[in-house]
Amino acid sequence: MKASANNEQEKPITLTGAFDKPTYKQILIKLFQGLAIPLCIFVLWEILGSMGWLNLYLVPPPSLIWDRLLTVAGNGLLIKHIGASLYRVVCGFSLALCLALPLGFLLGLLPGVRGFLSPTLSFFQQIPAIAWIPMFILWLGIDEASKIAIIVYSAFFPIFLNTLHGIASTDSKLKEVAYTYGLSRWGLMSRVYLPSAAPSVFIGMRLGLSYCWRSLVAAELLGASKGIGYLIQEGREMAQPDLMLVGVLVIGLIGLSLDFVFRRLEKKFLPWQAKVDTKEVPKWQIS
Amino acid sequence: MANFLEIQTITKYFNIVNGQVKALENINFEVASGELICLLGPSGCGKTTLLRIIAGLEKQESGQILLNGQAIDASGPERGMIFQEPRLFPWLTVEENVEFGIKGRYGKKLLQTIVQELLEIVGLAKFAKAWPSQLSGGMAQRAAIARALAADPLILLLDEPFAALDAQTRTKLQTDFLSLWQSTHKTCIHVTHDIDEALILGQRIIVMHSSPGRIKKIIPIPFPYPRCPDDPDFITLKKELRDSFYLNIVKLGL
């Protein structure tokens, strides 16, 4: 993809060429690669089950789990529980964003304040959200508030710390460029600090989302009347391992989808990032 | 307009672990409008520091800088800085990088025209939509030059802009830079440690000394452009400069 001065006129340079969207074939290959291992496991699992080598109660084969999934999906239970869990995540995660983003931004800009706050924050960072569940229930009751508090707590630290790090590690060479144009403080923040920290912020958000998804299920296991964690708990109480496994699968699948959505958002909002990451970035030579 | 830019008795110290080091001592010179001046010196002579003081990125301990008779003490868009590295914003395309300093100053249409024109001047018109990571070193530096020119500065300050490039690219960019200067007649202060580069570009060469950084001599270069490095007079002058360089280095025991 090199364009020398000579052939520039004959062949117009298409800059997007090297970064074209993946073809259907590429997507299929990727899909196959990702699904190969789970499919093998399911097939093996099913075969072992049908040959009577597995205890069907302890390890219900995929066909039984699938039947159960269809049942709970059919009678509307699954949607109700997923909806309850997602509602909590959306509320808690948005709240965590509202707290962690400005705070991370501010502390990233103020290294002086960081010295006062970081030991305390590091202390809290070490405490898993699950450890707080009993206290949160005590303080906030067993209803939604305590669960949302757990989510906020779990999502806060990865978002906050990554935002702080992103802002604090803004390249001072780029800051200097902005200074030479006499940018205002606000201009410097919105046009240099923010875009420079954006990749780090995205990493924080993806981590935060996955953390809060995990601790939410823990909170629902300990005390809830709906939610996927509750579904698993119900499976336990009714001695239905297939229902428990439905819950586990759904948790993984939704977590996966949420992460996928965030990765797509990242690609959309940080198009330059993909170009930096690609090892084989084509360079066009003209001089 | 003889005294377009005046550098008056600039002194600068750097704090090190045990005390202070004098980086610049009593620097005095004047630059005429439209002049292309090369600051030439070995590494550590303070030439970059001096340029950064003129750009407003460092503060001097004493002395002042007058631009059109007015003292300057902070950076401003009338002084365009080009660094050794391109320093393009990786999250902006080439054209967005070029319009960085003038965004909001003009309407959208005019802005687009200016950027397009500048990219054509530096030979990057086809790469307007490219990301900096897709550019080679020479192209990235061209984009940086276009970005500096966009603000239409009175003075261009260049801090060894071609030093990190390979020899061929450097020669090409030097030639292109010369024709750019001849067509725009911007005042340029070009820092370099490369004797050849200083002789090819400078109308005057300010030779600097290290420890502490001070001006050794100011040499007007009489050769017309474009200069030929094989010219006997060119070679004589080059030898002279080189000897004074090496003498300095021998004396320092480096």
What class has domain B5-78+153-252? alpha beta
Domains in chain A, ordered, with CATH? Answer: 25-51+60-75 (no CATH), 79-277 (1.10.3720.10)
Cross-chain residue pair A284–B80, CB shorter than 8 Å = no
Enumerate the residues of chain B whose CB falls inside 8 A of the CB of residue A195.
89, 91-92
- Tell me the shortest Cα–Cα distance from A109 to chain B, in angstroms: 19
The pTM of this model reads: 0.83
- Tell me the shortest Cα–Cα distance from A181 to chain B, in angstroms: 5
CA dihedral A141, A144, A146, A147 (to 10 degrees): 140
C-beta of residue B56 within 8 angstroms of C-beta of residue B76: yes
CA distance B198 to A249: 69
pLDDT in tens, B33-85: 999 999 998 888 888 999 999 999 999 889 999 998 888 888 888 899 999 99
CA distance A66 to A243: 10
Q: Which residues of chain B have pLDDT under 70?
A: 1-2, 246-254
Minimum CA–CA partner of A9 in chain B: B126
pLDDT of residue A19: 52
Cross-chain residue pair A282–B80, CB shorter than 8 Å = no
Q: Where are the domains of chain B?
A: 5-78+153-252, 85-152
Torsion angles phi and psi, residue B122, rounded to 5: -90, 0
Strands (E), chain A: none
CA dihedral B191, B193, B197, B198 (to 10 degrees): 60
Cross-chain residue pair B56–A173, CB shorter than 8 Å = no
Enumerate the residues of chain A whose CB falls inside 8 A of the CB of residue B79.
180
DSSP labels, B115-169: HHHHHHHTT-GGGTT--GGGB-HHHHHHHHHHHHHHT--SEEEEESTTTTS-HHH
Q: 10 Å Cβ neighbour count for A173?
A: 11
Cross-chain residue pair B83–A191, CB shorter than 8 Å = no
Torsion angles phi and psi, residue A96, rounded to 5: -60, -40
Q: What is the pLDDT along chain A (287 residues), one digit of tens a residue?
A: 333 443 333 344 445 444 556 788 888 998 899 999 999 999 999 999 889 888 888 889 999 999 999 999 999 999 999 999 999 999 999 999 999 999 999 999 998 888 888 889 889 888 988 899 889 999 998 888 999 999 999 999 999 999 999 999 999 999 999 999 888 889 999 999 999 999 999 999 999 999 988 888 888 888 788 999 999 999 999 999 999 999 999 999 999 999 999 989 988 888 887 655 444 444 444 43
Alpha-carbon distances of B60 from B7, B44, B82, rounded to whole Å: 11, 17, 20
